[in-house]
Amino acid sequence: MVDVFLQTLPFFAIIGLGYLAGRTGFFPEAATAYLTKFVFFFALSAMLFRFAANLSLSEVLNWQLIYAYLAGTGVIYIIATAVAFARNQSTEVTAVEAQCAVIGNTGFLGIPMLALLMGPESIGPLMLLLAVDLIVFSSLIVILINGSRDGRMSLAILRTVGIGLIKNPMIVSIVLGLTWSRMGWPVVAPIDQFLLVLGAAATPGALFAIGASLASKSAERMHVATWLSFCKLILHPLAVAGFALFVFELNAFEAAVIIAASALPIAGNVFMLAQHYGVAPQRVSASILISTTLSIITFSIAIGWVALL
């Protein structure tokens, strides 16, 4: 376990470095915002496109894996929803809390880190999980919040969801990469080297940006944030593991990848959605801060566990 912890420690050390830079004011919020944009629109997109362009859709698409992840995630989503309703929370707040309970930082933290820890063959499953999170659950929170405010489902809500997906650079880069592969076009050496160099900035850039963004997060409503962190870091990977290993019987590597991804801390884009809609942003902020801090230990334990599968 110590060896596993030492493997993951450098990644969290970069997050810590970013946090220190943000906390001391050396890296202000404006700088963090621009670094995040660089990683999101350029470095991470280059990494995803390069991997996708060298894969075929048949290699990536795995319905059993999707079902296992959806089932495990759905169970925790329902639990978090039930607990929020039992506390007499509104539909909007409940949707945000359920999102915190199941949406991990797959794009910024999971893909760069797990690609190094588990090898490039983990990228295919991770891209599937990222697509499920963005297409299913990120769409669901928009539908629930807008639907509760309007009192009904409308074409305008679906249009908002569709435009959001089309504009998401991670979805776009994956689709373009798979299309490139499907067309049989080679990734010639200069293009491949360009994507390799630019994509290499995704890991340190994303980790540093995560840390710097945490410096501005507040820790309020600690009991709720702790519960949501427990859902994300403990209950979510356990539920996914149950379905992956015992219901859908994925092979050891596939199960290891989706369990490890499920053990990631809460994603920053949940805060962006909460802030955009004005629904419990402080609660989400605290949940991200707590889950990211605790994941230094819990994620290392998860990696050590899946290594035994």
CATH of residue 221: 1.20.1530.20
Selected residue with higher pLDDT from 89 and 4: 89
- Beta-strand (E) ranges in 133-229? none
- Domains identified in the chain, total number: 1
Distance of alpha carbon 18 from alpha carbon 212, whole angstroms: 4
Which residues form the domain of 299? 2-306
pTM score, two decimals?
A: 0.89
Selected residue with higher pLDDT from 235 and 171: 235
Read off the pLDDT of each residue in 50-77 and give the average, rounded to a whole number.
92
Is residue 99 scored above 80 in pLDDT? Answer: yes
Is residue 226 scored above 90 in pLDDT? Answer: yes
For residue 104, the SS3 value is: strand
Residue 41 DSSP class:
I
Burial of 58 (0-12, 13-18, 19+ CB in 10 A): exposed
Instruction: Determine contact, residues 82/242, Cβ cutoff 8 Å.
Output: no
**Per-residue model confidence (pLDDT) at position 243:** 98
Is residue 73 scored above 70 in pLDDT? Answer: yes
Is residue 294 scored above 80 in pLDDT? Answer: yes
What is the pLDDT confidence band of residue 84, given thresholds at 50, 70 and 90? very high
Token readout for 286 is 């605290």
**Per-residue model confidence (pLDDT) at position 220:** 64
Distance of alpha carbon 51 from alpha carbon 49, whole angstroms: 6
